[in-house]
Chains A and B, each alone.
Chain A
Amino acid sequence: MDKKKQCSFYILSLMILLWSNNANAQGPPIFTDTPIMLGLDGGGIRTFGNFISKENAKVYIHPIIVPYNITSKWQMGVIAPFVNKVPEGAESRFGFGDLKLYAKFQIHQKDGKGKTFRTLIKVTESFPTGNTKGNPPLGSRAYQTAIGLVSGYITTKYGIYGEIAYNVTSNGLADNLLYNLAFGYPLLPQKYPPKQLNLFLELNGNYVFDGIGNNLHLSPGIQYIAGRKLLFESGIQLPLDEPSTEGQQTNYSLRIGIRILIF
């Protein structure tokens, strides 16, 4: 199936679901951030495995994300990734990647019965802690600061999420603009404590300046909320647009993850 057909297939499937199903409530998107900082998005540890299949390499990234809510409107967190790179015809490398710290501050909240619209400012600082002495490097060799907005309109029937961030880089790397859009839809009738099965369709983009180009992925995903404190999720990113040179294109990126509420 070519990329246009893939895209049409997922959008059509989503429209059929919207038309045929009348279930309620969904969880946070898999690749896009959420403006909700409560429950599993407030005091939970999140971890997932990202398997990236490229034409010339296999990459496995496993971050551990620990958020902490200082207030209901202010969250800080840390992202610690482990990276394994297996290039074709070369030795594989494994180690700690670039550490990230982030802060989220909610600037807008409009609540209604069974719905909420929230927006927050998010600042992420990336530190060049990944080992860059060997080849391929496990880090970026650069400090990076991403400043952006995360917004979402979440109702008991569906959720629409958007995220945009400008990433300022150092050490000669090109700046980039990250943009994500997600739509979430539940399949099971809702109840509390939750047992939910959610579907997501996301568009994840990264425009790299200095004439490098645009990366755009279509990302369908599925999520199972097993209770108050546990969530399983999986999604696949399929490239729609990628400026990489021939032989280095991404085939797909698969994510399998879990979120556990601890605080």
Chain B
Amino acid sequence: MRSIISNLMIICICALGAHAQAQDYNSELKGIIKVEVDGLSCPFCAYGLEKKLKKIEGVKKIEIDVENAFTLLTLLDGKTISETTIRKKVKEAGFTVRKIEEITDEGK
């Protein structure tokens, strides 16, 4: 009985962890967003990424730094986008997201 309870507790903790991670991906981001992109090894293929990210509603400006493997998304004032949306668009473009973070102008 004790082992069943402990197993159930482990499952619950894992489920909560997974849920928390999913919640992170659904967090709304605003301002300037730095997206670290893996697989970004050629400037000629970065156009697809730029095109996909441009389709996200609320994106004002996109800057791609191929050498340092990241892209900066500047959102329109008052607009937010979810991390899930960004991850989806990057995947559709054929790349892999390493990290997404909201940054200030100074952090750029």
Minimal beta-carbon separation of A36 from chain B (angstroms): 5
Q: Which of A116, A228, A229, A231 has the most CB of B within 10 A?
A: A116
- CB pair A192 B42 closer than 8 Å: no
Which residues, 33 to 68 on B, are CB-close (under 8 Å) to A?
A: 36, 38-50, 64-67
Given the known interface contacts A25-B66, A37-B94, A111-B95, the answer about A231 and B44 at a Cβ–Cβ threshold of 8 Å is yes
In the complex, chain A residues whose CB is within 8 Å of the CB of B42: 25-27, 36, 39, 154, 156, 159
- CB pair B38 A261 closer than 8 Å: no
Interface string of A25-52 (1 = CB under 8 A from B): 1111000000011111111000000000
Q: State which of A109, A114, A228 has its C-beta within 8 Å of the C-beta of B40.
A: A114
| B28 on interface, CB distance cutoff 8 Å | no
In the complex, chain A residues whose CB is within 8 Å of the CB of B92: 72
| A4 on interface, CB distance cutoff 8 Å | no
Interface residues of B, CB < 8 Å — how many?
26
Which residues, 49 to 108 on B, are CB-close (under 8 Å) to A?
A: 49-50, 64-67, 69, 91-96, 98
Minimal beta-carbon separation of A29 from chain B (angstroms): 12
Minimal beta-carbon separation of A225 from chain B (angstroms): 5
Q: Which of B42, B94, B95, B96 has the most CB of A within 10 A?
A: B42
Interface residues of A, CB < 8 Å — how many?
37
In the bound assembly, the distance between CA atoms of A156 and B66 in angstroms comes to 8
- CB pair A116 B47 closer than 8 Å: no
In the complex, chain A residues whose CB is within 8 Å of the CB of B96: 109, 111
Minimal beta-carbon separation of A122 from chain B (angstroms): 17
In the bound assembly, the distance between CA atoms of A191 and B42 in angstroms comes to 10
Q: State which of B49, B50, B98 has its C-beta within 8 Å of the C-beta of A113.
A: B98
In the bound assembly, the distance between CA atoms of A106 and B64 in angstroms comes to 25
- CB pair B43 A114 closer than 8 Å: no
- CB pair A228 B66 closer than 8 Å: no
| A211 on interface, CB distance cutoff 8 Å | no
In the bound assembly, the distance between CA atoms of A39 and B45 in angstroms comes to 4
A157 nearest in chain B by CB position: B41
| A155 on interface, CB distance cutoff 8 Å | yes
In the bound assembly, the distance between CA atoms of A25 and B36 in angstroms comes to 17
- CB pair B94 A72 closer than 8 Å: yes
- CB pair A192 B38 closer than 8 Å: no
A41 nearest in chain B by CB position: B45
21 contacts between A and B (CB under 8 A): A26-B42, A27-B44, A40-B45, A41-B44, A72-B92, A72-B94, A73-B94, A113-B69, A113-B98, A114-B40, A114-B67, A114-B69, A115-B39, A190-B43, A191-B66, A192-B43, A192-B46, A192-B65, A194-B43, A229-B47, A261-B47
- The 6 A-B pairs at the shortest CB distance, nearest first, are namely A111-B39, A194-B43, A38-B45, A72-B94, A111-B38, A39-B45
* Other A-B pairs beyond A39-B47, A194-B43, 7, CB < 8 Å: A25-B67, A72-B93, A111-B38, A114-B66, A156-B69, A194-B44, A225-B43
